[in-house]
C-alpha cells in the first residue's frame, strides 16, 4: 500500500564467521516516498534468541542503550563502534 509514510527497504545479513551462529551482521538500505525522497542506510546486527522465547520479556527489554551499557554485549558494541568495526564493502571481481 502506498500512503503518505510509505517506504521500501531491504536488509542484507551475513554471519560473522563460518561457525558463528548467534549473530548476523549487515546493512539496511531504503528510500521513502516523502517530499525529500532521500535514500538511507544503517548498520544492522541481529542475535538469535532460541526457539522458545517469551516475547513479552523480549519486548519489555527493548529500548535505546548507551554504547557503554553493560547490557550491550561486546560483540554488538564492537560492531556498532565505527573505530572498532571492520569496514563493510562490496567485493569486486
Alpha-carbon span 73 to 45, nearest angstrom:
11
What average pLDDT does this structure show over 63-88?
Answer: 77
Set of cell numbers at residue 40: 538511507
Alpha-carbon span 9 to 41, nearest angstrom:
9
pLDDT digit string, tens, across residues 29-41: 988 777 777 888 8
Q: Which residues contact 91 (CB under 8 A, 6 or more apart)?
A: none
Q: Which residues contact 8 (CB under 8 A, 6 or more apart)?
A: 30, 31
So what's the pLDDT on residue 56?
Answer: 94
Pick from 16, 10, 46: nearest CA to 28: 10
So what's the pLDDT on residue 1?
Answer: 47
Amino acid at each position: 500500500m502506498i500512503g503518505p509514510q510509505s517506504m521500501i527497504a531491504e536488509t542484507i545479513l551475513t554471519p560473522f564467521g563460518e561457525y558463528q551462529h548467534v549473530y548476523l551482521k549487515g546493512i539496511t538500505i531504503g528510500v521513502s516516498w516523502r517530499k525529500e525522497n532521500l535514500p538511507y542506510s544503517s548498520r544492522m546486527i541481529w542475535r538469535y534468541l532460541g526457539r522458545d522465547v517469551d516475547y513479552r520479556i523480549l519486548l519489555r527489554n527493548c529500548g535505546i542503550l548507551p554504547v557503554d551499557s553493560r547490557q550491550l554485549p561486546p560483540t554488538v558494541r564492537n560492531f556498532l563502534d565505527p573505530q572498532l568495526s571492520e569496514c563493510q564493502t562490496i567485493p569486486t571481481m
